[in-house]
Structure 1
Amino acid sequence: MTKEAIATNNAPAALGPYSQAVKANGTVYVSGQLPIDPATGEFAGTDIQSQTRQSLTNIQAILQEAGLDLSNVVKTTVLLDNIDDFAAMNEVYAEFFTGVTPARAAFEVAAIPKGALVEIEAVAVAE
């Protein structure tokens, strides 16, 4: 198996000893993306909509670096600080994924790094 780290300055740097994404055998595994704007190093906003939009924008940037886009995504996992934000998150999510949408799991978790409201990870496959 060959592994390749994927990294871009158009998404926030990893906060620890992990890659923004890893490509292995044609599949790209994107690490959980916090809603950090890479230009400022700060959250894109304080509401679930703006944070969801930034997390997905970060995923787009990482996929672009790997030569893919959101249409290649087959699975996502959404971590929410509060499950009551599910509907509002889902509205923004639907702006990014159309047609055959990825399989998805969404969970409320006890805490997300840096106090974020959402974190999203993705798996994409090259066609």
Structure 2
Amino acid sequence: MAIRTIYSPKVLVSPNPHSQATMAGNHFYTATVALDLEGKVVGVGDIRAQTRQALTNLTHLLEAAGGTLKDVARVMIYLSDMRYFQGMNEAYREFFHGDVLPSRATVTGTFGIPELLVEFDVIAHIEND
């Protein structure tokens, strides 16, 4: 199984030692947060804005891999505080809706950048024939 790095010019390249996303065969892996191309947190204090930015970043990475949000199979959501759960869900529904939804779980955690409120850890299955 070939492993390759996925890159989108629409998403920040991290200064940390990890790729934007990875494909292992048809399996796509990434984690996204609400950072813009300059590395600034989008929507400081606003869970809806941060959710939208992180999921927009996800959309760009999926497109770079030849996929879409419909290919997402699993989402692990990390919130800095569960009080953001409802607001995150409201913005999440703008991206994921309909009868076929990815499985998901939500937990709390802390982030290396204190202004971040949410992170999405995503697995997708993309058919690239």
Provide the rounded CA distance (Å) in 2 between the counterparts of 1:91 and 1:44.
17
| Cα offset, 1:44, TM superposition | 1.4
How well do the aligned residues superpose, as a CA RMSD in angstroms?
Answer: 1.1
AA matched with 1:45: G
Give me the TM-score of the superposition, normalised by structure 2. Answer: 0.91
Counterpart Cα distance in 2 of 1:33 and 1:106: 14
Correspondence 1:93-108 to 2 at 5 A: 93-99=92-98, 100-108=100-108
Runs of 4+ in 1 over 2 A off after TM superposition: none
Normalized per residue, which structure has more strand?
1
Tell me the equivalent position of 2:40: 42
Q: Which amino acid aligns with 2:93?
A: A
**Which whole-Å CA distance do the structure 1 matches of 2:24 and 2:67 have between them?**
14
| Percent of aligned pairs sharing the same letter | 35
- Residue-pair matches, total: 124
Output the TM-score relative to the length of structure 1: 0.92
Structure 2 CA distance for aligned equivalents of residues 107 and 15 of structure 1: 26
SS of 2:16 mapped into structure 1: coil
Q: State yes or no: 1:10 paired with 2:14.
A: no
The one-letter code matched in structure 1 to 2:3 is: K
Q: Which residues of structure 2 form unaligned runs of 5+?
A: none
**3-state secondary structure, aligned to 2:113:** helix
Question: Residues 30-72 of structure 1: CA distance to partner in whole angstroms, max 9, x if unpaired?
Answer: 1x2110012x421111211100110000000000000101000
Shift of 1:14: 2.3
| Pairing of 1:20-99 with structure 2 (within 5 A) | 20-30=20-30, 32-38=31-37, 40-46=38-44, 47-99=46-98
Secondary structure of the corresponding residue to residue 60 of structure 1: helix
1:123 CA drift (Å): 0.7
